[in-house]
Structure 1
Amino acid sequence: MNETRYAAVAKDLMDGIANGRYPVGSLLPTEFELCDLYEVSRHTVRAAINQLLSQGLVSRRKRVGTRVEASQPQGGYSHSLATIADLAYLAETQQREIQDIRHFVADISQAARLGLVPGEHYFCVSSIRVDRTHRAAPMCWTDVYAQRDYAKVIDLAREHPEQLIASLIEQHFGRSIAVVDQQVRAVLLSDEMARLLKAEPGSPGLKILRHYRDSEGVLMTVSETVHPDDRFTLVTQMRRDRAAT
């Protein structure tokens, strides 16, 4: 199953629900109709519908169909991220609002925490990200770190708030991201972070640290993102190793 394709189908259906193409109370097209509409398999359509189900946008009943229950996601946002392209799709649904830019030399503590090289020159772009269709509260706070050789990307980040900074580096510096290492851990929101994200101080949050590397394993960018726990759910999928069966 092509995860990127079902994410695109889910996004288009969500947009259709949000803008009234599929109003609350109406039925979505049948699975077969959606297959024809998007030129995809039933597996892809079902995976896309599951994304909508997980966000409380629709319900399903046998011999009735898929009914639209809400025009906006309920209880936060759920995202299935299986490829680098999925990260790019996620970024396209959000708007970057840059809050701060700083240049620094990585000390030993920063290098150890973020996987940087001590003594090297870096910059950090700090942003709030808001959902394009649901702007009631920020989705997250993100700090993106990169070497000063890529500093020209800062202006590009302002011009293209919907694109990942890592993707902008790919496009304009001739680099290619081959792998993203991801670490996820639970945190409690500090008073300052809660204020920035319009959340309760001390409430649970999710911190995601991502290292973007090229095919040689060379680090291109690092992002550190904090989500309030009620605004983001990270969905992963595990498959049986055929060699182990």
Structure 2
Amino acid sequence: MISVRYLQLARQLSDAINSGQYPVGSLLPTEHELSEMYQVSRHTVRAAIARLQEQGLVSRKKRVGTRVESVTGHKGYSQALASVADLAHLAQTQEREVREVEQFVADIARAQRFGLQPGGKYFRVSSVRVDSEHPGEPMCWTDVYSPDEYAAVIPLAKARKGELIAAIIEAEFGQIITTIEQRVEAVLLTDVLAETLNSPAGEPALQITRVYRNQDAGMMAVSVTVHPRERFTLVMQMARDKG
């Protein structure tokens, strides 16, 4: 399975970094070279490098490559997100465990909270995301809300554990994710979430709300994700406009 291969490759590259084969400041071989060296797909190489990024061992820049930043990783996840592809790739490095599914008609309170249409038909898929190396420390809890017209993705969300639900909708319904509106805020872990995520209740957490819109600006999905503070760091890069 891809999840096993990418973790194995990530460990091999991590060992190579720790041994000094790739010193801090040096560049790892290209994706193509690593694919040839370890006889794996480039998809597996990308997932393995994403794992090293999450551990703080490497950084990636376009037209530069993958640079070794440290020989010791950190606990938790640090993820740089600059595009829809980055977000979809992040999902591939973890697995979704669906815990609850609900189909409902949006009342006024729910519609206002999540940007839904009052009286509209929707479904909710609630899940935790876990990493095989830390099964006792789920990375997050996510509630995904989507119009009922896309309800056929519910069983697919259970089967395709490494894909964003919005990406599954995109593929199955011929949609294109053109924009993602993102809001990040600090919250406190409720008793229920604390128990589910195996983290102390009342502790600070990071809540990320994302609205996925298609080419017609229609809402495809809304996700609300809560991360315990020590398990995820969101990194965003801003650059001055040229000209």
Q: The TM-score by the shorter chain falls in which range?
A: 0.7 to 0.9
Return the alpha-carbon distance in structure 1 between the equivalents of residues 241 and 76 of structure 2. 32
Indicate how the Cα distance of structure 1 residues 111 and 33 shifts in structure 2: closer, same or farther if over 3 A, else same: closer
SS of alignment partner, residue 34 of structure 1: coil
Indicate how the Cα distance of structure 1 residues 121 and 234 shifts in structure 2: closer, same or farther if over 3 A, else same: same
Note the aligned Cα RMSD (angstroms). Answer: 2.9
Cα drift, residue 217 of structure 1: 1.0
Residue 11 of structure 2 corresponds to: 18
1:8-87 correspondence to structure 2 within 5 Å = 16-19=9-12, 22=15, 25-29=18-22, 31=26, 34-35=29-30, 37=33, 52=52, 55-57=55-57, 69-70=71-72, 73-87=73-87
Return the alpha-carbon distance in structure 2 between the equivalents of residues 166 and 197 of structure 1. 23
Residue 61 of structure 1 corresponds to: none
Normalising by structure 2, report the TM-score: 0.79
| Residues 27 and 68 in structure 1, CA contact (< 8 A), matched pair in contact too | no
Point out the more displaced range, 124-133 or 83-92: 124-133
SS of alignment partner, residue 239 of structure 1: coil
Return the alpha-carbon distance in structure 1 between the equivalents of residues 85 and 132 of structure 2. 19
The amino acid that maps onto 2:29 is: L
Percent identity, aligned pairs only, is: 45
Residue 157 of structure 1 corresponds to: 157
| Residues 98 and 128 in structure 1, CA contact (< 8 A), matched pair in contact too | yes
Normalising by structure 1, report the TM-score: 0.78
Cα drift, residue 131 of structure 1: 1.7
Residue 88 of structure 1 corresponds to: 88
SS of alignment partner, residue 242 of structure 1: coil
Cα drift, residue 159 of structure 1: 1.2
Residue 168 of structure 1 corresponds to: 168
Any unmatched runs of 5+ in structure 2? Answer: 1-5, 36-47, 59-66
Any unmatched runs of 5+ in structure 1? Answer: 1-11, 40-47, 59-64
Indicate how the Cα distance of structure 1 residues 150 and 16 shifts in structure 2: closer, same or farther if over 3 A, else same: same
Residue 111 of structure 1 corresponds to: 111
The amino acid that maps onto 2:193 is: M
Return the alpha-carbon distance in structure 2 between the equivalents of residues 166 and 94 of structure 1. 16
